[in-house]
Chain A
Amino acid sequence: MADAAIRVQGARKVYSMLGKPKREAVSDVSITVEPGTIHGLLGPNGAGKTTTLKMLLGLVRPSAGTFEVLGADSTHPSGRRSLGFLPEQPYFPVHLTARQAMRFYGSLAGVDAQGVREQTPKLLARVGLADAERTELSKFSRGMLQRLGIAQALLGDPVVVILDEPASGLDPVGQRDVRSLMLDLRAAGVTVLLSSHQLSEVEAVCDRVTILNRGVVAAEGDINVLLNVDGQSSVRASGMMSLPPRIAELAENVAVPGGVWVFSIPTQATRRVVDTIDEAGGTIIAVAPKRESLEDYFAALLASSDGEAPS
C-alpha cells in the first residue's frame, strides 16, 4: 500500500521547438498528497500548475521527475486507472446526451454496463443534473458542462480525484455544492488534488496546499500553519463603547463590524488584554491565533522577489 496517494518528485518540463528558444515551464516541483486529504495546488498564471497536472496524467511528457498515483507510475496508462480527472473547462462530444456521455466515459473507465446504469443517475443527481440525463450536451450551459465533468470524473468510484478549477463557470450555489462534494469525498476516504484560482475555495476545503511560482514550489504545508501569523492572536469582544487605552496601544487591525470589536494583539499580552476587557465590562467572544487570509498570504508570496514563503 502506497504511503502517499499522489507523489510527484523533481518534476521538470522544458518545451523545445525548432527555431525557438527553449522554455522551462516547470523547473523543480515535488508534491506529496496524503491519502484521504484535500490538497490544494495554487499559483498565478504560468506558475506550472497545469503542466504539472498534465505530466501527472501522462498528457505531457516530463523532461525529468517521477509521478506516482497510489504507488503506480501515472505516466503509464495503467497507473491512471484508479483516478478521476476533471480538466479545466471540460469539453464533450456535444451530440451526446448526458446519459450517453456517462456511458462512454464509464466504459473507458472500465465500469461495466450495469455499473454505469446504476451510477449515472446517482452521480448526475449528486452534481445537480438529475433532470438533464436525456438532454443533448449541445443544450448544456457552461456550468452544466462543468457539473457533468465532475460527474464523469467520479465514475467507477476513483480513490484519487484530480479537479482542475472545478468551480469555474459555476454560480455561487454551484460553487458551494462543489465544496460540499469535495468534503463528502474526503469523508469517504477519497483523495482530492484541487487546482484552483479561487483562494476562498482552497482555504475552505484544503488540508494542505502547495503554492507554485515560476515553475518551482514556493510554499507547501498545512494551510493553518501557513496562514497563522506567528506571535499574534486575534480577539473578538463586544459590550464596549471604545477600546480601553491599555488595549488600544497594543491592538492592530482594529475593526468594529456590527458592534463587535475585532483586533489583533501580541500573543504574550493576551492575559492582560482579557483582564482589561473584563474590567471594562466587555465580553470576550473569541481569542484565537491570528490567521492571515489566503489572499494576503498569496499576494505577499508573489510580491516577494525570490518567491520564498513570507515569514
Chain B
Amino acid sequence: MIKRIWPIAAAVMTDSLRRKVVYVVLVFAALLVLAIPSLPDYGLGVEGAVFREVALALSYVTGLVIALSLAANRVPSELEKRTVYNVLSKGVSRWEYLVGTWLGVLGVMAGTIIAFTVIEMVVGYLTYGELMWRLWEGAFATWLEMGVISAFAVAVSSVTGPVVVVTATLAALFVGHSRSTLLGGEGALALQPFVPSLDAFNVVNPVAHGSGVPGIYMVSMLVVFFGLVGVCLSLGVLAFGRRDL
C-alpha cells in the first residue's frame, strides 16, 4: 500500500518544484515579512507580538494560496490529460491515488511553511534580537489547517473542475471560521455540532501575545486534524470511486 501511495505523493512534490507559483508566492510573502518592522503604528513594547501576529497571517495566506493552487488542479489535470489511466491500471486503488495526492500536497506545504518560518525567525532575530521559537507552534497549526483545506480541495476536485474547487474550498474556509458568528444565536446553537469548525487551528493569540500553545492543545489539534481529514478524504474516495473516468 505505502509502496503505491509514496510514488504518487513524491510525484506531486516533484511536480510542485517546477511550478513557478510556489516560488513567486514564497518570495512575495518573504518580502512582506521584511516589510513588517516598517509598519507605521508599531507601539513600543509590542513590536515582537505584532511581528508574530502579522507573520502568522502571512504564513497562513501563503499556505492557503499554495495549497489551493496545488490541491485544486492536480486531480482534474490528471483526469483531463488521462495520465491517471496509467496510474490506476497498475493496480493502484482510487483511494491510494487520492491519499497519495493529498500527502504530496501536505509534503509541499510542510516544506513551504518550514521555509517561510525560517525566514520569519531570521527577520525577527535580526530586527528584535529575539529568537521567536513560538512561531513554530503557529506554523504547525497553519500546516494542520492547510492539511484539512487540502483534503477538502482534493476531495472536491475528484468530481469537479478547479474553479468550483477553489470556490467551494474558500466557502468551506469561511464557514469553518464563522461557526460562532453564523450559528451564535440561540435558535441556531443546536446546529453547531453539525458544522465543522477550523477555529481549533487558530493559535494566533497564544503564539503572538500569550505564552505559547500548551502541549495538550497540540494533541487536540491533531485529533481534529485527523478527524476532519478522514471525513474529507473518505467522502472524496466515495465520490471518486463512483466516477467513470
Contacts and interface: CB of A to CB of B under 8 A. Distances in A.
A105 B91 contact: no
Contacts, number: 77
A196 to B, nearest CB: 18
A107 B85 CA distance: 15
Contact of B91 (A61, A93, A104, A109): A109
Interface stretch (A51-59, A180-188, A301-309): A51-59
Contact of A59 (B6, B85, B96): B85
A107 B7 contact: yes
Contacts of B15: 93, 95
Given A91-B83, A93-B15, A104-B7, A78 B89 contact: no
Contact of B245 (A60, A89, A92, A152): A60
Interface in A74-125: 77-81, 83, 85, 87, 89-93, 95, 104-105, 107-110
Nearest to A83: B89
Interface residues of B, number: 25
A108 B87 CA distance: 7
A93 B11 CA distance: 9
A92 B89 contact: no
Contacts of B20: none
Given A107-B3, A108-B4, A57 B89 contact: yes
Contacts of B86: 85, 87, 90, 92, 105, 149, 152
Contact of A80 (B3, B8, B91): B91
Interface string B3-21: 1101110010011001000
B142 to A, nearest CB: 28
Interface of A: 15, 54, 57-61, 77-81, 83, 85, 87, 89-93, 95, 104-105, 107-110, 149, 152
Interface of B: 3-4, 6-8, 11, 14-15, 18, 81-83, 85-93, 96, 242, 244-245
Given A54-B244, A90-B82, 6 more contacts: A78-B91, A83-B91, A95-B18, A108-B7, A109-B90, A110-B90
